[in-house]
Amino acid sequence: MHNHERTNSYLGPDGAPYHGGHLLHNLILFGRLCHALGMDITPNRMIEVSRALEFIDVSKKQDVYHTLRTLMVTRKRDLELFDEAFKHFWQKPAEGWTTLDLQSLGEKRHKKKTQFLPPPGASPENEHSPEPKPAADPKLIAVVPTYSQQEALRYKDFAEMTREEMLMAQRIMERLPWSLGRRTVRRMKPGKGATLDMRRALRENMKHSGEIINIPTRVRKIKPRPLVVISDISGSMERYTRMLLHFTFTLANSIYQVEAFVFSTNLSHITRQIERRSIDEALTEVGNSVNSWGGGTNTGASLHDFNYHWGRRVLGRGAVVILITDGWDRGEPDELRKEMARLQRNCYRLIWLNPLLEAPEYEPLTRGAQAMLPFVDDFLPIRNLANLETLVRKLWRVSWRRPERPSYSHLIQTTGMD
């Protein structure tokens, strides 16, 4: 669209000086491009960029590149995106160059569309429209489930729910009072405690001419714990995936700080996708960004990825981890054991939610389940609404004291790799 403005104002390889307002103009266009690509760019920042360019030799493309990079990127994850945008934007336009090239940059973020498995009983046309809209469905707002309906729904398996029942269940789930255990942090605030608050002591006792009569004290502040949700989206979990993502979305919207991951054969970080205002948007975003839906399960490798690349960043500050999987695993049990042990060591509490747990005739006898079981602090079902209510109560009570953990170190084989 702004092609004609750009044609004679690229950063030339000959280092010719710039005349007129082309550089500034292009800079602004570039800023808008980066903004459109999801980077954190403010108009103020662009003013600083233009100021910064006065200080360097703009004929040196490398220096311009470093300058823009230092000023316009504020997150590691944006570095790569910026590099590509820079490469494409600040180049001599080739013949037949169009703005489409730039648009395609943005499109790289939108990969193939993923269809969620529709609940049984959904009509064929529903299968084509990717998402029903629970909140906007006027019929549903009118339908307030009666007590007995709710009761029946409470114990119904998520996998067997019809579309209407699922929407109703989701609305009930959203209304549950989600909250997570809390912890005392190191920050102090005024309150009844053992630590003397000297600042206030002096102020309040000035009127008594330095005679200490009031003894104000400080106590430690209490804050909610962060939560990490890691859910299995492999083939065996397919019937629950939709509901569980909704569950993750609900948690992300009710709890202070939630990091969300999904895995099948590999791990994906979906916190940014799930942090949307509506569940539909969130699910679409998750669908677009994750490309390992419904595949096999490699829990060990996925947890390895989590432990090595995310653990240090999201498990600080006494985080609670909720791991949702049915325990069917095709990976190496040894690796799984090792990674489970590490995960448990690094978090305050590890809760395993299993949709099959209360299913008739289910016993956690699979190799995967056997490998995981010793390393979880809680093992709970997540099959129907009643289970969720139990979970709510459990999370409220995540106690102040660390759960007791027997040593299972003998279960972990120490073998040399490579």
Partner 1 sequence: MINLSDGGTLCPRLVVKGYNNCMFESVEQIQELLAGQNYVAERSLATAIYLALRLGKPLFLEGEAGVGKTEIAKVLSQSLDTQLIRLQCYEGLDVNSALYEWNYAHQMLHLRLLEASGADRSEMESNLFAPEFLQARPLLQAVEVSANGQTPVLLIDEIDRADEEFEAFLLELLSDFQVTIPELGTLTAKTPPIVIVTSNRTREVHDALKRRCLYYWIEYPTFQKELDIVRTKAPDVEPMLAREITAFIQELRRMELFKRPGVAETLDWTAALVALDQQTLSPDIIADTVGVILKYQDDIESMSPEAIANLLDRARIQADIER
Contact 230, 376 (CB under 8 A): no
**Following CA atoms 199, 202, 203, 209 in sequence, which dihedral angle do they give, to the nearest 10 degrees?**
180
Instruction: Rule CB under 8 A: say whether 152 interacts with partner 1.
Output: no
Angle at 100 between CA 99 and CA 101, to 5 degrees: 90
* 336-395: contacts with partner 1 (CB under 8 A): 338, 342
Contact 54, 45 (CB under 8 A): no
Considering the complex, state which of residue 225 and residue 246 has its C-beta at the smaller distance from partner 1. Answer: 225
Residue in 123, 148, 209, 407 binding partner 1, rule: CB under 8 A: 209
Size of the site for partner 1 (CB under 8 A): 47
Per-position b or e across 259-278, b if 16+ CB within 10 A of its CB: bbbbbbeebbbbbebbebee
Instruction: Tell me the residue length of the chain.
Output: 418
C-alpha to C-alpha distance for 220 and 289, rounded to whole angstroms? 41
Residue in 135, 144, 202, 222 binding partner 1, rule: CB under 8 A: 202
Region of 1-9, 90-98, 131-139, 306-314 interacting with partner 1 (CB under 8 A): 306-314
CB-side neighbour CA atoms (13 Å) of 387: 20
Region of 22-30, 45-53, 120-128, 173-181 interacting with partner 1 (CB under 8 A): 45-53
Contact 242, 119 (CB under 8 A): yes
Q: Which residue has the tokens 């003013």?
A: 47
Considering the complex, state which of residue 63 and residue 164 has its C-beta at the smaller distance from partner 1. Answer: 63
The H or E element containing residue 171 is: helix 163-175
Contacts 24+ apart (CB under 8 A), 97-102: 97/3, 98/3, 99/1, 99/2, 99/3, 102/33
Contact 89, 64 (CB under 8 A): no
The least distance separating partner 1 from the CB of residue 301, rounded to whole angstroms, comes to 11
Residue in 35, 45, 182, 330 binding partner 1, rule: CB under 8 A: 45
| Dihedrals phi, psi of 114, to nearest 5 degrees | -110, 135
Region of 112-120, 174-182, 279-287, 307-315 interacting with partner 1 (CB under 8 A): 307-315
The least distance separating partner 1 from the CB of residue 21, rounded to whole angstroms, comes to 22
Residue in 2, 5, 21, 40 binding partner 1, rule: CB under 8 A: 40
Residue in 210, 277, 409, 410 binding partner 1, rule: CB under 8 A: 210
Instruction: Rule CB under 8 A: say whether 136 interacts with partner 1.
Output: no
* Distances from the Cα of 167 to the Cα of 122, 237, 285, 287, angstroms: 12, 19, 20, 19
Region of 112-120, 198-206, 235-243, 327-335 interacting with partner 1 (CB under 8 A): 198-206
Instruction: Rule CB under 8 A: say whether 213 interacts with partner 1.
Output: no
Exposed, middle or buried by CB within 10 Å (0-12, 13-18, 19+), for 283? buried
| Dihedrals phi, psi of 63, to nearest 5 degrees | -70, -40
C-alpha to C-alpha distance for 272 and 252, rounded to whole angstroms? 10
C-alpha to C-alpha distance for 245 and 390, rounded to whole angstroms? 19
Instruction: Rule CB under 8 A: say whether 194 interacts with partner 1.
Output: no
Region of 117-125, 139-147, 183-191, 376-384 interacting with partner 1 (CB under 8 A): 183-191
The least distance separating partner 1 from the CB of residue 204, rounded to whole angstroms, comes to 13
Considering the complex, state which of residue 111 and residue 187 has its C-beta at the smaller distance from partner 1. Answer: 187
Region of 91-99, 173-181, 201-209, 240-248 interacting with partner 1 (CB under 8 A): 201-209
Residue span 57-96 as binding mask against partner 1, x where in contact by CB under 8 A, dash where not? x----xx--xx-xxx-xxxx--x-----------------
Instruction: Rule CB under 8 A: say whether 407 interacts with partner 1.
Output: no
Considering the complex, state which of residue 165 and residue 339 has its C-beta at the smaller distance from partner 1. Answer: 339
C-alpha to C-alpha distance for 87 and 81, rounded to whole angstroms? 10
Instruction: Rule CB under 8 A: say whether 313 interacts with partner 1.
Output: yes
Residue in 185, 214, 390, 396 binding partner 1, rule: CB under 8 A: 185
Instruction: Rule CB under 8 A: say whether 187 interacts with partner 1.
Output: yes
The least distance separating partner 1 from the CB of residue 189, rounded to whole angstroms, comes to 10
C-alpha to C-alpha distance for 42 and 179, rounded to whole angstroms? 35
The least distance separating partner 1 from the CB of residue 188, rounded to whole angstroms, comes to 7
Binding positions for partner 1, rule: CB under 8 A:
40, 42, 45, 48, 51-52, 55-57, 62-63, 66-67, 69-71, 73-76, 79, 185-188, 198-199, 201-202, 206-207, 209-210, 307-308, 312-314, 316-317, 338, 342, 414-418
